[in-house]
Chain A
Amino acid sequence: MRLFKMMLFLSLALTLVSCYSVRFQVENGQWEPDDTEEGDPYYRGYLERSVPKKVVTKKLITGADYFNISDCESGALHTVEYKSTLGGILLNLVTFGTKKQAKVRYVCIKKEPSN
């Protein structure tokens, strides 16, 4: 029983540690601005968008597919954030590694109109 509890505790700890958020941001680009009060304070003043599909299939995890981003008018990205959640890890466990849940947020580069 004690061993089982320890294993459970260890599994939970490992699962929690597996939750992470990684953010990439370009240095030389103007972010697309926005004027809203809602959302994550980190993105205040930025037009934050997210990939609607949260369940990530094995093809995405293994690199055989990619997230499709089609709404950046400038065609360029300023910030990309990949967030792995506890729910996502649990889904991964339940589906034996075939599916995962992730949150992908991004900010586009501001459109530069042509002259």
Chain B
Amino acid sequence: MATTTIEERQRWDTLHKNGPFPLKFFLKTKLEKDSSGLSGFEKYKDVAVEIQKLIKQAADSNERFRAIGSRWSMSSIAHCKDRMHYNVFMNLKFSIFEGEMHQDSTYDHSNLFWFQCGNQIKEISLYLERRGKSLKTTGASNGQTIAGCISTGVHGSTIDEGSVQDYVVGLNLITGPNPEDNIYVERKSRPALRDTYAQNFNAAKVIRDDEIFNAALVGLGSMGFVHGVVIETENLFLLHRYVKKLDKAEALKLADTLDFSNYDPKILNTDFKGVRPFHYKVFMNPYNTGENKYAVEFIYKIKYYDNYKADFGNPIPFQKEFVYLDLIYLFIKIAGKIPKSIPKLINLLKSSILPKEEKTTVGKLSEIFWDAGYQGKAFACSFGVDHTHSSKALELLAKLTREHPVPGIFAMRFIKQSDATLAFSKFPFTCMVEIDGIQWRKKDKIIPLKEYSTKMIEILKNNNIPFTLHWGKNANWEFPGLVEHMFGNDLKKWKKVRSNLLSIPMQDVFSNKFLDATKLSEPLALDEDLIV
């Protein structure tokens, strides 16, 4: 039998210490041991029963239940005051064979894999690489669990690939304590697996429905317990990474148009002229208005070959030394020895120039987007806008930041549109304008984070720039009508699917304060239900 330890706790916090938040019980489930002789399918089914038992215990106690992964989200989206379930040790992995495919499937079975929720990005990459495969994209690093990534929309800056949820082709959800509450969902328009195969995982019901699948994809931890995901991978590829300083105007023009047809990055010993990069990212220090160049990261996709390290060296030691990794890391590097006084640090940023970095690295996806250690108490605010508005949004938010200084710097990343109903990458190409930095205290006499993020929302609204917010980042999530403003009718579609999948008591079990604050936990009114 799978075993769960239940620990009484007073509080819980995110990796970057954005809390603390109150908590009653911290639950940790481990799979049945290998020595039991159970097969992978049997272990998976066994732990599904255990999860349903835990859901029932929560419901019987009138308490809420929430699955968490690596707690990388900085907003309170992962938190629930009653029972938090740590599922990182639920990490079974399954290859899919030809006979297990749906008769109408257009997928290549060798690209499909079923991963249990607690698999972390790094272990998935290592598992896939042993089979000559790769994830299509990840976030800037690799510690998140697969279920955590898709539930909150984790993204990189892969212009033509999208976010992590965009290569998911099937979802195994546990929506309640009863046997029929274990379901497998995939798109009707793109079926993947045979019903009998899903039954190996205890799925009592197979649902093929685009609307349900798309709503459940970015489910915010509230569409039930995401027990497993089926993802589409691709053959191994290499990434050629280069960071250079680019004239502001040129960097912003590329951001606004994403037209690289006439652009030559002029990287030594390469010919990427006219090639749209796999990844394009612009870094910006909002305080140094005198800097006329932006640091820009170009990553191009190239064909994989085995002995690339003989040509380019091992990328990992270089990656460890680079400063243009994730934004918080860069911020801490350019701030140098951070003064204890945050206002002094902000003054320092006024003359701080983003460092030069022109070393090429080539490696697999998992090597370029590598480990990111804990970098201290951090904050991050991240807005999604249509890429045609990217320079305007950056200008407005940077100006606001100069008027109300906070210790952080900006970056812009670009993502292809997602089919997920509540994906923040909802524009044809979404530019994520983000500011990351370190937390400050009241005594620093700096604008409170909630007030700063309110002003950010207001400035985009006042300038008629449609936007979304990253679910896992800091914001004033209580801003009136925020989610409705961002998603309009899609919000109702999402709620409708939620009320179809989850009974009313289960909707409460799978809610939290974040959902209450954003009104996402409120069911649709009866008349609205008829209209959607």
Contact = CB atoms under 8 A, between A and B. Distances in A.
Interface in A40-89: 41-42, 44-45
B92 interface: yes
A115 B93 contact: yes
Given A28-B126, A33-B70, A42-B374, A115 B120 contact: no
Contact of B92 (A30, A41, A44, A113): A113
A35 B86 contact: yes
Contacts of B31: 113
B237 to A, nearest CB: 18
B162 interface: no
A29 interface: yes
A27 B316 contact: yes
B373 interface: yes
Contacts of B71: 35, 45
A37 B93 CA distance: 29
Interface in B334-377: 373-374, 376
A100 interface: no
A37 B13 contact: yes
B92 A110 contact: no
Interface of A: 27-31, 33, 35, 37, 41-42, 44-45, 110-115
Contacts of B86: 35
A112 B316 contact: no
Contacts of B68: 35
Given A35-B26, A42-B373, A113 B34 contact: yes
The SS class assigned to the A binding surface is loop
Nearest to A110: B123
A115 B45 CA distance: 12
Contacts, number: 56
A79 B182 CA distance: 38
A82 B70 CA distance: 27
B40 A44 contact: no
B240 interface: no
Contacts of A37: 13, 17, 20
B374 A44 contact: yes
Given A37-B13, A111-B89, A114-B34, 19 more contacts: A28-B126, A29-B126, A30-B123, A31-B122, A33-B70, A33-B88, A35-B26, A35-B68, A35-B71, A37-B17, A37-B20, A41-B376, A42-B373, A44-B15, A45-B71, A45-B143, A45-B374, A113-B34, A113-B92
Contact of B120 (A27, A30, A35, A114): A30
B91 interface: yes
Contacts of B373: 42, 44
B359 to A, nearest CB: 19
Contacts of A28: 126
A115 B94 contact: yes
6 contacts: A35-B71, A44-B373, A112-B91, A113-B31, A115-B39, A115-B93
Nearest to B90: A113
Contacts of B34: 113-114
B94 A112 contact: no
Contacts of B26: 35
A51 to B, nearest CB: 22
